[in-house]
Amino acid sequence: MTRVFLASRNRKKIEEMERILREHLPEIEVVGIDDVDGYDEPVEDQPTFEGNALLKARAGLAATGLPSLADDSGICVDALNGMPGVLSARWSGPPTLRDASSLGSSGTGGSLRDDKDQRNNDLLLAQLDDVPDERRTAHFQCAVAFCHPGGEELTSGVMPGRVLRAPRGDGGFGYDPLFEADDRPGVSTAELSREDKDAISHRGWALRRMAPIVARILR
């Protein structure tokens, strides 16, 4: 089994990356931040998705010694001049005391992410409340970086669509319940099957470009 590190605590994202990578390297295992003791996450302070992805992948390689993948992604809304963009995950601000108390003794961060996703979605809907349907265009963007002892690789992907007026579906994560992709009209990306979302998503496109590169380097 070949192991790679993904600089993320999001189990759904880890599973998604492992599914796509296994199409090219069946024996691969993806481990995340919660699988590494005492991991110190770097501050994502770069102005671009590519910069943040490289920053996290470099930190992962340095901390674990494993070939390391990282992605940075977000939703870019035309009516908000491309925002939230790189600020998508923290659009509604830093975690609150209420978010932290929802973790209980599990320490997994699942409830924290769910509460934060809800606050981010609520804020985005409020900001677009008076924006007509024809101006609610947006796209998801993703950059994926791969850092290994021999160098660095970078790929990207985009999923165009629009922001809905209310959340729909309980799949996916982040802004998925609010987003309708141009390639799948009539449903939110939170209503798509895993396979269907992988086929059209910004992360899916970036990973499918990265997967053969990872396989070639790690074989």
- Asked if 210 and 30 count as a contact pair (C-beta separation under 8 A), the reply is no
Q: Is 12 annotated as a binding residue?
A: yes
Contacts of 180 (CB under 8 A, 6+ apart): 161, 162, 163, 164, 186, 187, 188, 189
> Is 117 one of the annotated binding-site residues?
no
- 10 marked as binding residue: yes
Flag whether 109 is marked binding: no
Residue 34 known to bind ligand:
no
Report whether 24 belongs to an annotated binding site: no
Sheet with strand 151-163: strands edge to edge: 28-31, 2-6, 68-77, 137-148, 151-163, 179-181
Residue 124 Cα to chain centre, angstroms: 17
39 appears as a binding residue in the annotation: no
Angle (nearest 5°) at CA 124 between 85 and 32: 55
Q: Are 20 and 198 in contact (CB under 8 A)?
A: yes
Give me the catalytic one of 71, 72, 99, 198: 72
The annotation status of 162 as a binding-site residue, yes or no, is no
177 upstream amide cis, omega within 30 of 0: no
37 annotated active-site? no
78 is in an annotated binding site: no
To the question of whether residue 73 is assigned a binding role by annotation, the answer is yes
61's CB contacts (< 8 A; 6+ apart) are 5, 67, 68, 147, 148, 149
Residue numbers belonging to the annotated binding site for Mg(2+): 72
Residue numbers belonging to the annotated binding site: 8-13, 72-73, 173-176, 197, 202-203
Active site residues: 72
